[in-house]
Amino acid sequence: MSGGGPAKVRPIRPGGALTRERDVELWIVGLNHKSTPVELRELLAFEGHEIGEAARRVLQVPEVSEATVLSTCNRIEVMVVAARGAEVAGELARFLARERNLTEAAIADHRYVHRGKQAVRHLFRVASSLDSMIVGEPQILGQVKEQFGLAAQSGAAGSVLRRCFEKSFAVAKRVRSETGVAGKAVSVSSAAVELTRRIFDDLGDKTAMLLGAGKMGQLAARHLLQQGIASVIVSNRSFDRAVELARLFEGTPVPFERFPQYLHIADVVLGSVAGTGYIVGPSHLHEVLRARRQKPMFFIDLGVPRNFDPGINDLDNVYLYNIDDLVSVADDHRAEREREAMRGEAIVVEEADRFWQWFSGRDLTPTIVALRGKLDGIRRAELERAVATLARLEPADRQCLEAMTLAMVNKILHGPLSALKELAMQADGESAADAAHLLSRLFSLESDDEGEPGTEA
Amino acid sequence: MEAIALTLALVLYLVATVAGGLSLALEKTSTRVVTPVVLVAAFLLHAAAIGLRSVAVGNIAVTSFAEQVSFFAWLLVGIYLLAQTRYRLAVLEAVISPIAFIGALGSLVDHGAVRDLPPGLKSPWLPVHVTFVFLGNAVFGLAFFVSLIYLLQERQLKSRRIGSFARRLPSLETLDKINFRFLTWGFVSLTLGMLSGVLWAELSWGRLWSWDPLTFWTTVIWILYAILLHGRVTVGWGGRRAATLTIVGFGVLFVSFIGVNMLSPGRHAGSFG
């Protein structure tokens, strides 16, 4: 018996796995950035510390046995395990509204409902960041893990949801490693940083110079600091402002008239100055490059109108990008991300199908294996008992007995198993699941097995 | 035996070429691990082939043009594999592999009877001298490709069109560093090669130096690289200029190697038959 999956999980029974007595169903009710404006999402969102308790409160909805709450800047969703046949969607929507003193009508147009296999697929998509505003973003997985953990801790999430969520983490990992959906910049400042990495190997001994105090420039500077750049020089027409920003970045302020003298120290120069006219041109740079012994310089022009003379791009070892260039870099990546996202979607569909097969008991393998195992166990026990009582037994005779008992068991099983397999082929796997469950009860297969999709006992 | 080892090596170089090409074209991780393994295997087989031939000759097998090309190709692969342990140069595998294939192919095709070494060359100096010189050349060869990549990456960055291909290349700074390192090591190796040649000539024939086309061109190349190295260290010829000069330098090296071997005889390596 192979025990797949983490140790905390209860043993799975064959013929219906976690749909214990097959009387439960999965539901997701929620709102996301596609369906709902941010003003409404803000109202409905839950803080981190509220998640656990909120999930517990969901359990008060009739027929709900397990629940989780997911609240991020992109979505608010409730996922539950409910009794089969219970129509909990409406109640769950009301729950969300009530939590925030809103009327159900207020959210009615924005909420969506997923059920059964669709719910599984949605969960997998969300965890893999395929449903995020920025597809491929890395935060969502951590958020899902954390918030599931909170629901589990508070006792709201149980073994069924645990199995679903843990599978979703694995699927997310698979999507991230098998597709290129993550890891490509789609914002201007991260595009800028990515370009910096293509020029410079190690930012740890590089210096950036921030000219001006525009928001984009500050963002890029912050990004560079996060990526490990050694220091930032800040210069501004208003020296006070430069000092202020320098303090923010733990850098050095420089009076604006004197910044050209410091250019030779800067490897990355961010231009975020308002006002007209180029503040750096080719003539400035000849000396600077010589002083730098031709080490490359990267100029990022975030000003509109532009701060840097485009002619400097023609100089050897000088690279100049302005806002349009950065946007088109980010756009290129977006298109690529979308292509990769489609591959990710395909993975999610495949995994969801497979998971659903097993989860809903349509995967009969555990049952078949358990049944075979049980009968074979009986066969062997009886064979041993018989052999023990026989006075003398030639090996050939023993073999004959083996063969006979095996043949008997196989023939007995043949009919039922073929019938089971045929049932499984049918579109409505319900009867197969029913049959498997019945068999499992009739033959008392419950207690012996552990199974997981993909790890055959 | 030698032919078998060589043929196997050739097949593997071909496989590496295809796998390397696939790794470039698609972005599959699966092909990416195949090529280095295949290349190492090919490298070892190639080594065996050269080794066997050398045993048959009684000294290192580098007298005929084909043998030299094969030896050079082998060194190129070896240095590449060594460099790969340190730097992310996997893009080069699609280039190195076919070169190695062609280099080794010549040796297989030109598989004439093992030539007996002319008496003047039967010396332990031969492997020392030749290996150092060829090692230097091979390192310069690799530097040539690194410089090409540098220029490619640089052009992409300058033109502000970012292809996904170029993204997998090392950064400009890294490429430049690698280039410098190769330049240095190549130069050291070449110098040692020339010194050993001089010493050998002095000890064996009593003449320090004889001017023939190969020594002439090697000197020219040595001076070229010396200038490049000097320029890098003192004035700071980095980046684009260094890359261009490295390419030019190797171009000269390559042409002179072929030219000398095809055209003129002399005491020196090249055409002994």
Residue B36 Cα, gap to closest chain A Cα (Å): 21
Written as six digits, the tokens of B177 are 């560093």
Q: How far apart are CA A7 and CA A19, in angstroms?
A: 19
Backbone angles phi, psi at A110, to 5 degrees: -110, -15
Residue in B157, B167, B236 closest to A319 by CB:
B157
Q: List the Cα angle B87/B90/B94 in 5-degree steps.
A: 145
B128-146, pLDDT tens digit by residue? 888 898 999 999 999 999 9
SS3 sequence of A92-109: HHHHHHHHCCCCHHHHHC
The nearest CA of chain B is from the CA of A194 a distance in Å of 10
With an 8 Å Cβ cutoff, are A316 and B239 in contact?
yes
Sequence ranges of the domains in chain B: 1-117, 124-273
- The predicted structure's pLDDT at residue A14: 42
Segments making up each domain of chain A, as ranges? 20-178, 188-327, 365-448
Which amino acid does the sequence have at B77?
A: V
* Residues B27, A325: C-beta atoms closer than 8 Å: no
Q: What is the dotted CATH code of the domain comprising A188-327? A: 3.40.50.720
The DSSP annotation for B249-271 comes to HHHHHHHHHHHHHHH---SSSS-
Element (H, E) at A269: strand A268-272
To the question of pTM greater than 0.80 for the whole model, the response is no
pLDDT at A218: 87
Q: Do A200 and B241 touch (CB under 8 A)?
A: no
**Spans of chain B below 50 pLDDT:** 269-273
The helix (H) or strand (E) run that includes residue A24 is strand A24-32
The 3-class secondary structure across A433-454, one letter per residue, is: HHHHHHHHHHCCCHHHCCCECC
A interface toward B at CB cutoff 8 Å?
180, 195, 197-202, 292-296, 313, 316-317, 319, 321, 325, 328-329, 332, 336
Cβ-based contacts of A325 with chain B (< 8 Å): 160
- Please name which of A85, A88, A83, A72 lies closest in space to residue A32, comparing C-alpha atoms: A72
Residues A228 and B36: their CA atoms lie apart, in Å, by: 32
pLDDT of residue A114: 94
Q: What residues in A contact B173, CB-CB < 8 Å? A: 199-202, 296
**pLDDT of amino acid A322:** 85
Whether A164 sits among the annotated catalytic residues: the reply is no
**Smallest Cα distance from B89 to chain A, Å:** 14
The order of strands in the sheet holding A75-83 is A64-71, A75-83, A24-32, A112-115
Q: What pLDDT, on the 0 to 100 scale, is given for residue A440?
A: 80
Residues 13-52 of B with CB under 8 A from A: 27
3-class SS letters over A303-370: CCCCCECHHHHHCCCEEEEEHHHHHHHHHHHHHHHHHHHHHHHHHHHHHHHHHHHHHCCCCCHHHHHH
* pLDDT under 70: residue ranges of chain A: 1-23, 183-186, 360-363, 424-433, 446-457
- Report CA-CA distances (Å) from A181 to A70, A200, A302, A352: 22, 24, 27, 19
The span from the CA of A424 to the CA of B28, in Å, is: 36
What CATH class does A20-178 carry? Answer: alpha beta
Summarised one tens digit per residue, pLDDT across range A370-423 is 888 999 999 999 998 988 888 788 888 888 999 999 999 999 989 888 887 777
Please state the φ and ψ torsions of residue B60, each to the nearest 5 degrees: -60, 140
Interface check B177 vs A, CB under 8 A: yes
Which two tokens mark B237?
């010829």
Q: How far is C-alpha B147 from the chain's CA centre?
A: 14
- For the CA atoms of B240, B244, B245, B249, the dihedral, rounded to the nearest 10 degrees, stands at 150
Interface test with B, best of A317, A324, A325 (most B CBs within 10 A): A317
For B157, which of A198, A201, A202 is closest by C-beta distance? A198
CA B254, CA B134: separation in Å to the nearest integer?
Answer: 12
Is the backbone peptide bond immediately before A305 cis, with ω within 30 degrees of 0? Answer: yes
Catalytic residue among A73, A170, A406, A409: A73
CA closest to A323 among chain B residues: B160
- Cα A364–Cα A369–Cα A371 angle in degrees, nearest 5: 95
The SS3 assignment for A156 reads coil
How far does B30 lie from chain A, in Å, by closest CA? 11
